[in-house]
Structure 1
Amino acid sequence: MSTRMLPLSLTGRLAVFFALVVSIALASMGAFAYYSLAAQLESRDDEVVRGKLDQVQHFLREVDGRQGVSSAQHRFGDLVRGYSDLIVRVTSQQDGVVLFSTGDSDATLTTENVSGMVIMRSENATLGKDAAAVVVVVAKTGEDRQQVTARFRATLLFGTTVGVVLTAMVGAAITRRELQPAHALIRQINRISVERLSYRVDMPVKPTEVRDIAGAFNAMLKRVEDGYIKLSRFSADLAHDLRTPLNNLIGHAEVTLSRDRRSSEYVTVIEDSLIEYQRLARMIDAMLFLARADSAKVALEISRIQLNPELRKLSTYFLVLAEERGVSILIDGDAIVDVDAILFQRAINNLLSNAVRHAKSGTAIAINISSDESICRIDICNWGDRISEHDLPLIFDRFYRGDRARSNSLHSTGLGLAIVKSIMELHGGRVTVESPADGMTRFTLQFPLKRREEEERRVTA
C-alpha cells in the first residue's frame, strides 16, 4: 500500500495497519484450514473408493457367474446407496460387456477434465463359479467434497471480512482512547505564548511515550524561558551601555557648539570623543565575536603552546598598570596545550585585566599551571573584594557587572568574561570562578588534552 493512500491521522493509519495485519493473519489461517480440509476430504474419498472396490471384488467372488451378476443388481445398488457421486462399473475382460454400472458411468469415466475425481480399478477380479475375469472400476467424482469446500470457503471469506472490519473499528476506538493524553498535551501546548513561558504542561502517568514528550517539552520550555530572560536582560544592558557613550558624545558636542571655542578646547573635546568612540568600537567588536562564537563560525587555528613562557610574555603587557596599583604578577608551573593562540591570548588578557583592576594594593596576582592525563588547568588568583554569592552565577553573562565594578564602566564593556567563556567552549573546555570568604578570587581555565593525545597516537602509529 502506498503511503500517499494512507489517512493523515494517526488513528486512521493505525486502524488501517491493524486491519491489514488481521486480514493477513486471518487469510493465512483460513488458507491453511481450507487446504487442510480439502486434503482430509480427498483422503477420505480415497478410503471410501478403496473400501468399495474391496467390497465389489468380494461380492463378485460369491455370485454365480455372469447370470448371478445380472440377478444381483439390487445388491450392487446397496453398495453405492448413500453416495450420490460414487460410480461402480464391472466389465467382462473376455468380450468387454458391461455387467453392471451406476448412472452414466461411461460418460463420466471417459471425461478427462473432471476435477478432483478419485478412480481405482482392479483387473484381477473374478466371478464365483466360472472364475471369469472381470475389470472393476470404482470412482468418486468429488462433487460432495467440492460442495463442502465451497461452503467452507464462503464462510471463511465472510468471517475474514467481518473480522477485518471489526478489527479496524475496534483498533480505531482503542487508538483514539489511547491518544487522548496526546490530544490533551496538544491543547495545553496551544495555551503557551511569549507572555506565558513559565507555563508547564502536565505530565500524564501513562502512556510513558506521552509522558516523555511532556517532560522533554517542559525542559525545552525551561531553556526557552532562560534564553528569553537572558535576551531581555542582554537587550536592556546593551541599551544602557550604548546609551552612556552616546550621551557623552552628544553632551560634548552640544556644549562645544553652544559658543565659540579656542582650538585647544576643540582638541580636548575630540580627544574625549575619541575615547568614547574607542569604547563603542571595543563593544561592537566583542559583540560580533560573541555572535560568531554562538553560531560556531569561529575557525580555530590550533597550535602547540608552552604555557609558562607564553603567560610570562602576556603578563608583561600589564606590568606598568600593575606597578601603578602596587600589584605583582607571579607565574608557577608549566604545561603544553594545543589551542588557538590568538583566542588564548585574548582570554588570558581579559582575565589579567580583570585581576589587575580588582586586586588590592600590596597583593600579588598568582598564575598557577597544572595538568594531569586529560586536563590542563590555569588558575588566575587575585586578592581583593569578595564577589557576592548573588553575582557568582551571573558573572559570565553578557553585560553583567557587579555593583562594585560599575564605577569602572568607562574601561569595561561588560563582555570580557563572556568572551572568555565562549573561547573556552570553542576549545571544548570551561571556565569557573570561586570567591571564598578570605577575599581571594580564582578564575580557572580547564583545557582538554584529548586533541594532543590523539595526535601523539597518530604519530606513534
Structure 2
Amino acid sequence: MSKSSHSLTLRVTLVFVLIVVLLSAGLGVYLYRSFVMEIERRDDILLLGKMRQIQQLLGNAGTLDIIRERPQYFRDTMSGQENSLVRIVRADGTRLIDVNPHDENLVLPPAAAPDAPLTARDIVSWTSRDGYPARLVVASARIGQPAQMADISVARVYGDRSAMFAAYRWQIVIAVAVSAVLAALLAALMLRRGLRPLHSIAAHAALVRPGKLEQQLDARGAPTELLPLIGALNAMLARLQEGYARLSQFSADLAHEFRTPVTNLLGQSQVMLARPRSSGEYEQLVSSNVEELERLSRMIDSMLFLARAQHEEMLPDKQALSIAEEFARLADFYEGLAEERQLALVCHGSGTVQAEPQLLRRALGNLLSNAIRHATPGSRIVLRADPGTGGGMALSVTNIGPAIAAQHLPHLFERFYRADPSRTDSAASSGLGLAIVKAIMALHGGEASVVSDAGGTTFALRFPR
C-alpha cells in the first residue's frame, strides 16, 4: 500500500475539497436554477405584455387600414426583434399578419377569450427548428369598427437566452473548480499548521530512551483537542518510568539475592578444596551446599510462579472451601514453628470462600509464616474471617510486634522488598512471599492489603463474591 494512502493530511484535504465541491456545486445549482426561473418569469411577463399590447391596438379604429396599407410598419412595431413571431388570423381564416422569419412550425393551442385575463398558465412551450426553447401564447381579439374576431399568436424563440444560460453554467463550473483548488491549498496549509503539535509530540517521542523517561510533554499552547492525548502520553511515560525503575531495582535485587547463595557455594567449595579434608567435612560441605541450592530452587520457583501469574497463564479452578477447615489445617502445619517462638495460633470465623485450594493455602501460609517470623514472643497470632462488602469474604492474619513504618506499607507487596534495609534474616526469606500473595489475589479478582500500628500488623485477603 502506498504511503500517500496513509497520509492524514491528504485524506483530510481530499475530504475537505469534496465537501467544498459539493457545497459549491449545490450552491451553484441553486443559484443557476433561481436565475433561470427569474429570467423565464420575466420573459413570460414580457410575452403576455406584448399580447395585451396587440389586443389593445387591434381594438382601435382604423387598425385594419394600417395593416393593409403599412404592414411592414406594423410588423416592425409588433415584433421588435428577429426572434419574435406574430400571427394575426381573422375568423374566416385570412392571415392579416404573419411575422415568422425562420418559417417555424407553430402548433397553436386553443385561443383564450378576448376579455379573459392571461396568465403564465396560458403560455405553452415548444422547440424551434434550431433546437432552441420557445414560448407561445394565443388569444382572441376584436378588430376595428364594426368589430371582427381574430386569433393572435405571439411567440418568441430564446436562442440568445440559451447562450446566456450556457455561459452562466460554465462560470459556475469554473467557480467550483477554482474553489476546489483554493480549498485544497488552504486545507493543506491549515492542516500543516494544525498538525505541528502532533509533529512536536512525535519528535518528543523519538527522544524517549531507557533511562530518559522523565521528560514530559509540554501542554502549554497545545490545542484543546490534544490535551487528553498529551495527558495520556505523559501518564504513559510516568508508568513506563515507574516500571523501568522497578525493573532496574528488580534486576539489582535479583542479582543480590542470587549472589549470596552463589558466593556461599563458591567460597565453601574453594575453602574445602584448598587442602585434603575428611569425609565428614565433605559431607558437611555437601549438606550446606544443598541448603543453598534449595534456597535457589525456592527462589526460582517463586519467580516462575510470579511470571506465569503476571501473564495470566494460570486460571484458578475455584471451589467452595470451608474457612474453618482451612484455618485448622494451616494452624496444625505451623503449630511446631509457632511453639518454638512461644506463639499461640487462634482461629476465628466460619463460612466458605471461593478459591483454588493450593493457591489459597500458599497465600495464607506465606502470611502466617511472615507473622510468626515477626511476632513478639509470647503473643498471639489471630486468623480471622469476616464477611466483606458486596457479599465477598475477607481473611486476615494479625500478629503483635513492632509496627511497620508508614513509608514501607505501599511497597511491602513488591518483589524483593524488605522493610529492613540491612536485609537481616535474608536466608529465611527471599522477599517474594508477599509478591506471590498479591499475584494469587489478582488471579482470584481480589486484593491484598496491610495495616500496621502499635497494636499490631494485619494482612488481609479480600475475595469477591
Tell me if TM exceeds 0.5: yes
Is the CA contact 1:19–1:167 (under 8 Å) kept in the aligned structure 2?
yes
Matched, 1:40 2:38: yes
CA distance in 2 between counterparts of 1:214 and 1:404 reads: 38
CA distance in 2 between counterparts of 1:407 and 1:164 reads: 77
Cα distance change on mapping 1:116 and 1:101 into 2, 3 Å: same
Task: Report the Cα offset of residue 194 of structure 1.
Answer: 1.6
Q: Residues 80-91 of structure 1: matches in 2 within 5 Å?
A: 80-81=79-80, 83-91=81-89
Task: Report the Cα offset of residue 353 of structure 1.
Answer: 0.7
Matched, 1:107 2:104: yes
* Residues 385-394 or 354-363, more deviating: 385-394
Paired residue for 1:411, among 405, 411, 428?
Answer: 428
CA distance in 1 between counterparts of 2:330 and 2:143 reads: 129
For the residue of structure 2 that corresponds to 1:192, the secondary structure is coil
Cα distance change on mapping 1:51 and 1:44 into 2, 3 Å: same
For the residue of structure 2 that corresponds to 1:378, the secondary structure is strand
* Residues 327-336 or 277-286, more deviating: 327-336
Whichever structure has more helix as a proportion of its residues is 1
Is the CA contact 2:318–2:354 (under 8 Å) kept in the aligned structure 1?
yes
Instruction: Please provide the CA RMSD for this pair.
Output: 2.5
CA distance in 1 between counterparts of 2:312 and 2:221 reads: 39
CA distance in 1 between counterparts of 2:3 and 2:85 reads: 55
Percent of residue pairs bearing the same amino acid type:
35
What stretches of structure 1 of length at least 5 have no aligned partner? 450-461
TM-score normalised by structure 2 residue count: 0.87
Task: Report the Cα offset of residue 67 of structure 1.
Answer: 5.0
Q: Residues 259-278 of structure 1: matches in 2 within 5 Å?
A: 259-278=275-294
CA distance in 2 between counterparts of 1:66 and 1:19 reads: 66
What is the identity, as a one-letter code, of the residue corresponding to 1:416?
Answer: G
Paired residue for 1:149, among 150, 165, 176?
Answer: 165
CA distance in 2 between counterparts of 1:303 and 1:220 reads: 38
Is the CA contact 1:307–1:337 (under 8 Å) kept in the aligned structure 2?
yes
* Residues 22-31 or 330-339, more deviating: 330-339
Aligned to 2:112: none
Matched, 1:310 2:326: yes
Paired residue for 1:376, among 361, 381, 393?
Answer: 393
Aligned to 1:28: 26
Aligned to 1:430: 447
Aligned to 1:420: 437
Task: Report the Cα offset of residue 177 of structure 1.
Answer: 2.5
For the residue of structure 1 that corresponds to 2:326, the secondary structure is helix
Paired residue for 1:399, among 416, 420, 424?
Answer: 416
Task: Report the Cα offset of residue 171 of structure 1.
Answer: 2.6
Aligned to 1:199: 215
Q: Residues 39-438 of structure 1: matches in 2 within 5 Å?
A: 39-62=37-60, 64=62, 68-73=66-71, 74-81=73-80, 83-92=81-90, 94-95=92-93, 98-107=95-104, 109=106, 111=128, 114-122=131-139, 124-129=140-145, 133-374=149-390, 375-403=392-420, 406-438=423-455
For the residue of structure 2 that corresponds to 1:368, the secondary structure is strand
What is the identity, as a one-letter code, of the residue corresponding to 1:75?
Answer: F
What is the identity, as a one-letter code, of the residue corresponding to 1:42?
Answer: E
CA distance in 1 between counterparts of 2:410 and 2:141 reads: 111
What stretches of structure 2 of length at least 5 have no aligned partner? 108-127
Task: Report the Cα offset of residue 23 of structure 1.
Answer: 1.3
For the residue of structure 2 that corresponds to 1:411, the secondary structure is coil
What whole-Å deviation, never above 9, does each CA across 1:332-354 have from its counterpart, x for those lacking one? Answer: 12232211221111100100111
What is the identity, as a one-letter code, of the residue corresponding to 2:328?
Answer: R
TM-score normalised by structure 1 residue count: 0.88
Is the CA contact 1:42–1:145 (under 8 Å) kept in the aligned structure 2?
no
What is the identity, as a one-letter code, of the residue corresponding to 1:212?
Answer: P
Task: Report the Cα offset of residue 355 of structure 1.
Answer: 0.6
What whole-Å deviation, never above 9, does each CA across 1:309-329 have from its counterpart, x for those lacking one? Answer: 211211211000000110011
What is the identity, as a one-letter code, of the residue corresponding to 1:116?
Answer: P
CA distance in 2 between counterparts of 1:445 and 1:340 reads: 14
For the residue of structure 2 that corresponds to 1:435, the secondary structure is strand
